[in-house]
Amino acid sequence: MCVGEPFRILSVDGIAAMATNGPREALIDLSLTGPVAPGTWVLTFLGTAREVISEDEARHIAAALAALRSVMTGGDVGDAFADLEATGPRLPPHLQAALAEGREIA
């Protein structure tokens, strides 16, 4: 499984960027996002930026990853998933429509 990590762009040189996610810096490939300005947050997978994200979204993702690291070492998730717990599970719109029509969804 590949996990996306948020990084903030520090500098750009063509399709490559130096970026940070707090404790570390990395060289990030920008081939999939195109040019971005320093200060921009991107979601990266295996060193490649896949999409531009907001700072708020980057914070949520970083908190979720920290919670997962905590669980893996015997800790708990704290409030990292409070936004999901508050809304509860939701079906995708097409499945919700099928359920509303009385169709069985498997």
All structural domains of the chain, each given as residue ranges with its CATH number in brackets, are: 5-87 (2.30.30.140)
pLDDT at position 104: 83
Q: Which amino acid is at 60?
A: H
Query: What are the tens digits of pLDDT across the range 10-64?
Result: 999 999 999 999 889 999 999 999 989 999 999 999 999 999 999 999 998 998 8
Statement: the pTM of the whole predicted model exceeds 0.95: no
How far, in Å, CA of 96 to CA of 106, rounded? 12
How far, in Å, CA of 88 to CA of 81, rounded? 11
Name the strand (E) or helix (H) holding 51. strand 48-53
Output 24 or 85, whichever has higher pLDDT: 24
Output 101 or 77, whichever has higher pLDDT: 101
Average pLDDT over residues 84-103: 81
Phi, psi for residue 29 in degrees, rounded to 5: -80, 125
Q: 16-20 and 41-45: which strand pairing?
A: unpaired
Token readout for 16 is: 């490559």
Burial class (CB in 10 A: 0-12, 13-18, 19+), 7: buried
What's the pLDDT band for 84 if we cut at 50, 70, 90? low
pLDDT at position 80: 66
